[in-house]
Structure 1
Amino acid sequence: MTHHGERVPDHLLVRIEQRDDPVSVVSEDDARKRSIAYPTLMWSMPIFGFAQQVDGRWRILRLTADEPQHARDGLASHFRKLHSELPKIDEHATERAAYEAAYEAAYELLDWEPLDELTVNGLHYRIIRAQPFIRMGPDGPEPPRPTDPDPYPPGKAERVASSIDGFVIDPTVGTGLTDGLVRMEMISGYLTSEVVSDNVRADSRRALTTHPNVVLLPVCYTIGGYVDGGWRPRTAAMYPTPQAARDAGSFSMGDVALDENTPFEHVMAAYERARAAHQPPRTDDFEVQGVLCRVTRVEIFVRVGPDGPEGPRPSDRDSYPPPARQVHDLREQGLMPDPD
């Protein structure tokens, strides 16, 4: 990005590096070919998570929620976990008590208030917003690339940890030419579709100013299905490798055909039997009950500004209040009994 001054601020920097090692050269060639074969970029619904500031950078702790409140609930669970894992050592009892009190206050506060930022035990946390997108071509969504890592055989990919958890959002890290061009395209990208509301379009346009740079996150994968003449997500989940997507996304509860009057325990037993008998595919294109499915490559970016990654927008869907507040409101309305 252009900047008039002695030094480009970190939050505006896009550093493109020439990489000549064999792996980078092949990956760049793959990316170039795919940008031609799958030229249309399609944004999906945003996802949310929480990050922790470490040494001036933000490290993603989790990014799986479909709404901001679900991410806040996840952060509260994170504090509960930290609270439970504090070492029980007598000589540090006073220090431990202070940490316990801070974690307990944090998760109890999140149970009542929809907070997007807070500092706990000297560390700053934030609810963050990310934007997934896929590439589309004449034959449908982009499948995995030949250079995408896919190390485990069918049925064994669940051991792969998320490549996003722990990722540090750093706009100053150098990137290859193709990813650099994608970043430049996303930097100026905002929603213009008449399908979304005026508020959504306005917030999308405003983010160009408040968070004027983007950082690409590690690639994920999902499963798409060709239904009624168009491609639709078969699952909302995203997975760290193509085979992890095949293992988890090529079979679902909906694939177990049972009568609606079947008892629940019989449904679950049938599902477990069918899941155990299921053979996850290895190919990127396969059929499930006559429906063409494809492992789909998902790219994700986070907008960043001078204070770090973007948080939830006012127009983002946020359907529910925090859990304790929700219970309180239901009791006030007479829709939930008082506790014994």
Structure 2
Amino acid sequence: MTSGGREGAPFAAARRGTPLAPPLRTPPTSGIHPEVARRPDHNARMTDDWKRRLDALHADLVRRDDPVAWVTEADAVEASRRYPQIALRGPVFGVAARDRTAAEPGWRLLKPVVDGMPQQARDGLNSHLWFRAKDDTDDPAARRELLAAVAVLERAPADEVEALGVRYRVVRGDEFARTGDDGLEPPRPTDLEPVSPSWEDPGTAPSPDVGYVLDPDRDEGPMAGALRLGLRDFTYTGDRFPPDVRADSEWAARTHPDVVRLPVGFSVAERDGSDWTPCGSLAATPHEARRSLYEGMARVWAMLYRFDEHKKALYARAAETFRAAGRADEASVEDRLFRICRVERMVRLGPDGPEPPRPSDLDEYGPMKLHPTLHTDGTVQYDD
């Protein structure tokens, strides 16, 4: 649910709910940082690898002769012109799995890459394995192997475990948004919306992350491919990032040089002077983010922040105005401006798969026991 509070703390690496970092200025068709673009080795690679890859993407677009794909590509070109910069929010974490016995044994996302700390993703993996042991098998040996992995996650901040032939890894991504002269990029006309959008149904669309194949050659078109290739050289720079964060970022670009762009998401951001502060969780569709903003203004914030009757009525009217506009992407109330923004994420890949958390990524708490003791015969012990 979107938060109604202001989160005006200075940007800090590996923190969530903070203003977006100042944008990186990028050429309108690629997403390449200008300092990177000047490097001779980068220019050589662009002449060779980039050209081959982009030519292949363009040829595929022509071959498919798909009007929807052409319109989507035109949207991407227009977005790169109107929002030519990239604003970094910071790291996000999720879980990927690789089943060696599967027909396609590559890495796939098991849990959405949306957590603000590595330990949150580890806890999600802990619960996944515990419930698999409880509900998905009657074999004591299989249950024992799953519970052994759970025990590892309870004792230490482990970023990888293996059970029943499946490797599980906590993975790290970066979340960013495009930005231009008027702020963050809103949803595009070609972004998917629900067929029958509801303002009342509390249900949410399933995360498109789950089951997503981490394939570095998976691109939707030339513009997406250009951005992905440009992001390969992206690193954290500038004094606002601590030295260990910058060093880890540069090291990751060498050890995990490939990039996968994850499914696009949508969120609410509030303008605070020249900054935009993201608030709320990542939504699968623009309408889901709009509904979150509507609920916040109409009901939730009044309860959380104990609005008086005048302020409650003011926010309720703003909510109904926003709802009546249908697919509006901005709402204002008092001196506050909110925007539905388009959120992108990337995960780095190396020879052994997706990048795990970095040493400089912060946790606010450590591993712990999350569930009752489960015995290998399936009995749950609740009194320990």
Place the TM-score, normalised by the shorter chain, in its bin. 0.7 to 0.9
Q: What is the aligned partner in structure 1 of residue 69 from structure 2?
A: 24
Q: What is the aligned partner in structure 1 of residue 179 from structure 2?
A: 136
Deviation string 1:175-205 (CA, Å, 9 cap, x unpaired) is 4100011011101111112101000001111
From the superposition, tell whether residues 82 and 234 of structure 1 become closer, same or farther in structure 2 (CA, over 3 Å): same
**Aligned residue among 194, 197, 201 for 1:153:** 197
Task: Give how far 1:30 is off.
Answer: 0.4
Q: Name the CA distance, whole Å, in 2 between partners of 1:190 and 1:47.
A: 15
**Aligned residue among 215, 219, 222 for 1:177:** 222
Deviation string 1:32-69 (CA, Å, 9 cap, x unpaired) is 00100011101112100111013431111112211111
**Aligned residue among 84, 97, 106 for 2:134:** 84
Is the 2:175–2:346 contact (alpha carbons within 8 Å) kept by the matching residues of 1?
yes
Q: Name the CA distance, whole Å, in 2 between partners of 1:175 and 1:42.
A: 22
Deviation string 1:110-133 (CA, Å, 9 cap, x unpaired) is 111111111111111101001111
Task: Give how far 1:292 is off.
Answer: 1.5
Task: Give how far 1:288 is off.
Answer: 4.4
Is the 1:188–1:208 contact (alpha carbons within 8 Å) kept by the matching residues of 2?
yes
Q: Name the CA distance, whole Å, in 2 between partners of 1:167 and 1:289.
A: 41
**Aligned residue among 92, 108, 127 for 2:151:** 108
Identify unmatched segments of 5+ residues in structure 1: 89-95, 263-270, 326-338
From the superposition, tell whether residues 66 and 258 of structure 1 become closer, same or farther in structure 2 (CA, over 3 Å): closer
2:59 matches 1:59:
no
- The one-letter code matched in structure 1 to 2:114 is T
Task: Give how far 1:255 is off.
Answer: 3.9
Q: What is the aligned partner in structure 2 of residue 123 from structure 1?
A: 166
Q: In the TM superposition, what are the counterparts of 1:232-243 in structure 2 within 5 Å?
A: 232-235=277-280, 237-243=281-287
Q: What is the aligned partner in structure 2 of residue 39 from structure 1?
A: 84
Task: Give how far 1:16 is off.
Answer: 2.8
Task: Give how far 1:138 is off.
Answer: 1.0
Q: Secondary structure at the match of 1:303?
A: strand
Q: What is the aligned partner in structure 2 of residue 248 from structure 1?
A: 292
Q: Secondary structure at the match of 1:214?
A: strand
- The one-letter code matched in structure 1 to 2:303 is V
**Aligned residue among 53, 57, 72 for 2:122:** 72
Q: Name the CA distance, whole Å, in 2 between partners of 1:39 and 1:173.
A: 23
> TM-score under structure 1 normalisation?
0.80
Q: What is the aligned partner in structure 2 of residue 203 from structure 1?
A: 248
Is the 2:137–2:143 contact (alpha carbons within 8 Å) kept by the matching residues of 1?
no
Task: Give how far 1:157 is off.
Answer: 7.4
- The one-letter code matched in structure 2 to 1:202 is A
Task: Give how far 1:163 is off.
Answer: 0.7
Q: Secondary structure at the match of 1:16?
A: helix
Deviation string 1:80-122 (CA, Å, 9 cap, x unpaired) is 121122255xxxxxxx111111122221221111111111111
From the superposition, tell whether residues 187 and 259 of structure 1 become closer, same or farther in structure 2 (CA, over 3 Å): closer
Percent identical residues: 35
Task: Give how far 1:246 is off.
Answer: 1.2
Q: Name the CA distance, whole Å, in 2 between partners of 1:154 and 1:70.
A: 30
Is the 2:347–2:355 contact (alpha carbons within 8 Å) kept by the matching residues of 1?
yes
**Aligned residue among 306, 313, 330 for 2:358:** 313
Identify unmatched segments of 5+ residues in structure 2: 1-41, 371-382
Q: Name the CA distance, whole Å, in 2 between partners of 1:298 and 1:259.
A: 31
Q: How many residues align?
A: 299
Is the 2:192–2:285 contact (alpha carbons within 8 Å) kept by the matching residues of 1?
yes
- The one-letter code matched in structure 2 to 1:116 is D
From the superposition, tell whether residues 110 and 257 of structure 1 become closer, same or farther in structure 2 (CA, over 3 Å): closer
Aligned-pair Cα RMSD in Å: 2.9
Q: Name the CA distance, whole Å, in 1 between partners of 2:168 and 2:118.
A: 14
Q: Name the CA distance, whole Å, in 1 between partners of 2:279 and 2:240.
A: 22
Task: Give how far 1:224 is off.
Answer: 0.8
> TM-score under structure 2 normalisation?
0.71
Is the 2:93–2:114 contact (alpha carbons within 8 Å) kept by the matching residues of 1?
yes
Is the 1:222–1:249 contact (alpha carbons within 8 Å) kept by the matching residues of 2?
no
